Structure 1
């Protein structure tokens, strides 16, 4: 009898282990892949969703860019993606559908040691073009300016070109470092004395970095001109119950409140 009890105990432990592994696999069911713009905001929404959800856990992994989201969802490798640029007509023709969530201001930020809190739009353009090379020229420290840029297809750069005075045809200096993701740009500026970069605004930027006012307007001021729109994308052919449930939550009043708390302007679908 004791032997049978031991055997049953081991079988029960094995069943529990298998059950735990199954639950662990189910806990990673739905990843929302894509842009780094607004990633902290969407992670907060996912955390709130996961606290109330049943079997499916939503994750917001590190950036693979808006193009990566389009490729992953369009290629039916993922069910949901996140983008910070509008879908093209060709992408819509592939069956992709976008759900705008929030307007996120584009921020220009610098290493804390540069001693500058604001620039004119003309000064910002001159710095990123390489015409101004030292922070002392704009009232800052006697320190070489180190420009951190993004690739030409970056969503924040596209918004700056379309809205920031002097940026439409701006040729960015060749003496710059190209960051491949938003997080890369932030970390490079944070770690490099004299550095300046740009990306989507988030309250998390304030701390080790200084977020600049442009022409007297901070990023969240109504007169600040540049912003990106963060949207979720999916294909009707692969949208399942879990994806539908998270889409409904992400566009709910509760999610809009979470997004607004983190510096964005929520959009009603």
Structure 2
């Protein structure tokens, strides 16, 4: 009886030893290039509003520095392009400075407000006018007024330089300023804010509009109804020419896409980069 117990104990010990050895030998090491447990990885692709590029480019760089296993690719193309591409699944984020198109409202797109986007009207530096009323802007962009002398300037032809119909900036100006009036077709069309600014800077008598972040010393910034653009005047409601920058995703964002959106809308990022790039932090916007 005692012998049987000893044999049984020995057998159990041997079985346990074999199990431990097998367990140790069967454990696989993680691939050397795999992200550490909990480390974010993946690819974020975004397209759309060129007005938002001065904000999203530093967001891209800072986010990738913090998350080296994530690749973020950001392109322009216009707000409506961004909306259409995210709805089609071509990109994971569609950046826009206009609300969602009616034709896409059944596509399951989710909106996150990113930032307040002010727009300014700019002219060539040879234009003598410093301020226009809303009605004067309407008269110019609808083609009713075609010479600067008609709005208090010198005798000089007005050349309109602005964006294509796919542009969110154009859509915002149409809604906020023109309020349903149609833009004249007698205009030079450019495909980005930067291209509009460059063309106006080199064309005597030219006028157009850009995201405030793009206005610089190469052009002249006009007042709107007597109010010169400033971040504080947007926040206080004195300067009305602004919209919201939005990030659309197909369904609720997850993984690296959600992490990038969370970072771009965070006080950590916006408090450093929004105002210095001509935007209003979304937390300061009143509506």
- For the criterion TM > 0.5, the same-fold answer is yes
Could you tell me which residue of structure 1 aligns to residue 183 of structure 2? 172
5+ residue gaps, structure 1, are 1-18, 20-26
Report if aligned partners of 1:103, 1:230 keep a CA contact under 8 Å in 2. Answer: yes
Report if aligned partners of 1:113, 1:194 keep a CA contact under 8 Å in 2. Answer: yes
Describe the superposition over 1:66-93 as per-residue Cα deviations: whole angstroms up to 9, x where unpaired.
2221222222221122111112455242
2:208 to 197, 205, 223: 197
What is the 5 A alignment of 1:1-269?
29-61=43-75, 63-88=76-101, 90-152=103-165, 154-164=167-177, 167-202=178-213, 204-220=214-230, 221=233, 222-236=237-251, 239-257=253-271, 258-268=273-283
| SS state at 1:147 partner | strand
Report if aligned partners of 1:36, 1:182 keep a CA contact under 8 Å in 2. Answer: yes
What CA distance in whole angstroms lies between the structure 1 residues aligned with 2:250 and 2:167?
23
What CA distance in whole angstroms lies between the structure 2 residues aligned with 1:207 and 1:267?
27
Describe the superposition over 1:98-132 as per-residue Cα deviations: whole angstroms up to 9, x where unpaired.
11011111211111121332222222222223333
Aligned residue pairs: how many? Answer: 239
Shift of 1:29: 3.5
Report if aligned partners of 1:33, 1:81 keep a CA contact under 8 Å in 2. Answer: yes
Describe the superposition over 1:180-211 as per-residue Cα deviations: whole angstroms up to 9, x where unpaired.
43333223212222110113221x41210111
Higher mean Cα deviation, 258-267 or 178-187?
178-187
Answer with 1 or 2: which has the greater Rg: 2
Report if aligned partners of 1:113, 1:141 keep a CA contact under 8 Å in 2. Answer: no
Please report the TM-score for the alignment, with normalisation by the length of structure 1.
0.78
What CA distance in whole angstroms lies between the structure 1 residues aligned with 2:101 and 2:146?
37
Could you tell me which residue of structure 1 aligns to residue 23 of structure 2? none
In structure 2, the CA distance between the partners of 1:141 and 1:57, relative to structure 1 (3 Å rule), is: farther
What CA distance in whole angstroms lies between the structure 2 residues aligned with 1:191 and 1:35?
24
Please report the TM-score for the alignment, with normalisation by the length of structure 2.
0.74
In structure 2, the CA distance between the partners of 1:69 and 1:109, relative to structure 1 (3 Å rule), is: same
| SS state at 1:82 partner | strand
In structure 2, the CA distance between the partners of 1:90 and 1:173, relative to structure 1 (3 Å rule), is: closer
Could you tell me which residue of structure 1 aligns to residue 28 of structure 2? none
Could you tell me which residue of structure 2 aligns to residue 11 of structure 1? none
In structure 2, the CA distance between the partners of 1:141 and 1:70, relative to structure 1 (3 Å rule), is: same
In structure 2, the CA distance between the partners of 1:123 and 1:261, relative to structure 1 (3 Å rule), is: same
Shift of 1:170: 2.8
In structure 2, the CA distance between the partners of 1:174 and 1:89, relative to structure 1 (3 Å rule), is: closer
| SS state at 2:226 partner | coil
In structure 2, the CA distance between the partners of 1:32 and 1:215, relative to structure 1 (3 Å rule), is: same
What CA distance in whole angstroms lies between the structure 1 residues aligned with 2:199 and 2:102?
35
